[in-house]
């Protein structure tokens, strides 16, 4: 049995375990255990920034070309070259922010190659991702047009690795200045009279690796130099995001906060979930046993400790938490789908990935005082994607459905919860079986999300409330017949949310009957409204 508060870090270590074969658990069992949740509505926390539900789109595989961009002359219905089906699906997520053009690609990207008439744009080799030719037909204007179409804030990742201070400075001027200068005249010649509003700007990406193999001390000096020449033009004010660490590199955070903390608005953090923890053999996206289901979830939970530790280091210089932590790359990373270019990072998405998405969002909510942006990797056709496309076809993944169900939490006030939960046991290891997160919107409606990660046992969950009188409940559930259930072009609705009728009000409390391996979002009405 576990008991924990979801506003405090949860320390979990990771081990690949031996469990029963997956086939033995393809059908849900009827074994029921009990859990309890206390929702502390009288102790509200920080606002859950909508940007926590951000996306990431890199020039990688078919993430842009074929996934977002098909060109104006395509037979696939499009708006100015952008796929209409993808635009509609993303708008339905209430998309907050999209990070572009990378990733590792960003530090080989030179923005001038992606403006002007497309037939005149030079090509390049995408050396990071598959060695394919990048024709630069999707550039600054196209990306910012896409952001306007889907209603999202752009997050530009600037090139420190192979770029120059002048190049980055002029890019900001080109996009945001309304003065009569060569850069603004060039923008107008290319069809955009008014400047864009660009809030989020990343000064380098993974500079400890593909972005330049720098030390924290060297990058701090580079950040200081580049940041000096990134100007705020007119009414535009840049929110400056420094390249932060990966995983548990706490020394990087310490150095950055010490040397340039005063000059940044946010520090980034990257963490990917690998079932095996081995980058040379990450594991299959679809062919896995329960041991890999368990290890994937357990490794996902480790991000809670990483965020907590980095936050505590940041607190030493920034106790008022003015500097945000931006988890601008996160999600599952498996071996590439067989038969595809391994550099395209295409992988299928199963019910397991929906669990990973939900658990991460719960953790981000619990750290909402410091985590004010997160960008899942990646939006379309790459890694833990929202959407998969193939030619004219499109399918929504289980991860998409979690983001759609959880969009009710965007902009809500975090409500702490305490949980007493049975264990989910695999081999001789265990993690909590039930997870919960809650927010309250401006109208006073409470939203409670519950996750049962145990693929074998249903959970009967009692929910009580402090400072909130319950009068009614409705909700939706996401589950599927098997742990490896997926949505394909042939069967797009295998994993899809449906109405949930397993919650009832009992004397001001809730009783929730959760099936095995399920995700719930409950809307809880108050008698006081």
Residue 47: exposure state from Cβ atoms within 10 A (0-12, 13-18, ≥19):
middle
Distances (CA, A) of 196 to 187, 190, 334: 10, 14, 37
List all residues 6 or more positions away from 99 whose beta carbon is below 8 Å from its beta carbon.
Answer: 54, 55, 56, 57, 155, 157, 200, 202, 328, 375
**Active-site residue identified among 173, 329, 404, 429:** 329
Residue 510 contacts residue 503 (beta carbons within 8 Å) = yes
Q: List strand residue ranges (DSSP E) for 275-408, in order.
A: 324-332, 371-377, 387-390, 393-396
CA–CA separation, 70 and 407 (whole Å): 28
Q: 3: how many CB neighbours lie within 10 A of its CB?
A: 10
**Active-site residue identified among 58, 153, 173, 206:** 206
Residue 62 contacts residue 381 (beta carbons within 8 Å) = yes
Counting every residue written for the chain, the total comes to 529
DSSP state of 209: T
CA–CA separation, 377 and 61 (whole Å): 13
Beta-bridge partners for 494: none
CA–CA separation, 222 and 310 (whole Å): 22
Is 206 designated active site? yes
Lookup: tokens for 472:
């009614």
CA–CA separation, 378 and 332 (whole Å): 10
Lookup: tokens for 8:
């405090």
Lookup: tokens for 192:
């955009």
CA–CA separation, 100 and 494 (whole Å): 31
CA–CA separation, 350 and 495 (whole Å): 8
CA–CA separation, 179 and 157 (whole Å): 24
What DSSP element (H or E) covers 357? helix 351-366
List residues with catalytic annotation. Answer: 206, 329
């Amino acid at each position: 049995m576990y008991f924990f508060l979801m506003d405090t870090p949860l320390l979990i270590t990771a081990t690949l375990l031996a469990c029963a074969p997956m086939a033995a658990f393809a059908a849900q069992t009827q074994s029921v255990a009990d859990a309890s949740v206390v929702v502390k509505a009288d102790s509200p926390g920080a606002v859950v920034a909508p940007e926590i539900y951000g996306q990431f789109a890199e020039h990688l595989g078919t993430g842009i070309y074929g996934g977002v961009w098909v060109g104006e002359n395509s037979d696939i219905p499009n708006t100015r070259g952008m796929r209409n089906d993808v635009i509609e699906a993303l708008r339905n997520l209430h998309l907050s922010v999209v990070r572009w053009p990378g990733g590792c690609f960003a530090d080989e990207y030179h923005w001038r190659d992606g403006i002007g008439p497309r037939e005149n744009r030079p090509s390049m080799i995408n050396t990071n991702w598959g060695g394919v030719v990048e024709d630069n037909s999707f550039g600054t204007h196209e990306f910012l047009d896409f952001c306007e179409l889907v209603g999202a804030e752009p997050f530009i990742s600037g090139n420190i690795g192979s770029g120059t201070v002048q190049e980055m400075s002029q890019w900001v001027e080109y996009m945001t200045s309304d003065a009569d200068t060569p850069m603004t005249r060039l923008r107008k010649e290319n069809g955009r009279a008014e400047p864009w509003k660009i809030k989020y700007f990343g000064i380098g990406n993974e500079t400890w690796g593909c972005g330049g193999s720098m030390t924290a001390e060297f990058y701090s000096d580079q950040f200081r130099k580049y940041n000096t020449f990134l100007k705020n033009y007119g009414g535009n004010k840049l929110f400056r995001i420094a390249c932060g660490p990966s995983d548990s590199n706490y020394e990087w955070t310490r150095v950055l906060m010490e040397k340039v903390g005063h000059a940044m608005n946010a520090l980034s953090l990257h963490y990917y979930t690998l079932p095996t923890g081995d980058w040379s053999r990450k594991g299959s996206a679809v062919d896995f046993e329960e041991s890999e289901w368990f290890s994937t979830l357990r490794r996902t939970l480790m991000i809670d400790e990483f965020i907590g530790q980095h936050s505590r280091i940041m607190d030493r210089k920034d106790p008022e938490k003015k500097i945000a932590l931006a988890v601008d790359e996160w999600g599952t990373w498996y071996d590439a789908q067989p038969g595809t270019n391994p550099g395209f990072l295409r992988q299928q998405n199963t019910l397991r990935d929906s669990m990973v998405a939900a658990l991460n969002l719960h953790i981000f909510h619990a750290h909402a005082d410091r985590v004010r942006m997160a960008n899942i990797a990646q939006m379309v056709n790459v890694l833990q994607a929202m959407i998969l496309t193939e030619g004219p076809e499109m399918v929504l993944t289980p991860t998409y459905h979690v983001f759609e169900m959880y969009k009710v939490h965007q902009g809500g006030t975090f409500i702490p919860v305490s949980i007493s939960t049975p264990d989910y046991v695999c081999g001789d290891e265990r993690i909590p079986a039930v997870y919960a997160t809650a927010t309250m919107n401006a109208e006073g409606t409470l939203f409670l999300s519950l996750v049962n990660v145990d693929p074998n046992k249903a959970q009967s969950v009692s929910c009580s409330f402090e400072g909130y009188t319950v009068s009614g409940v409705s909700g939706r559930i996401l589950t599927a017949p098997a742990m490896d259930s997926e949505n394909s072009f042939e069967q797009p609705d295998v994993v899809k949310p449906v109405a949930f009728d397993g919650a009832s009000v009992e004397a001001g409390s809730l009783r929730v009957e959760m099936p095995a391996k399920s995700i719930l979002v409950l809307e809880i009405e108050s008698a006081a409204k």
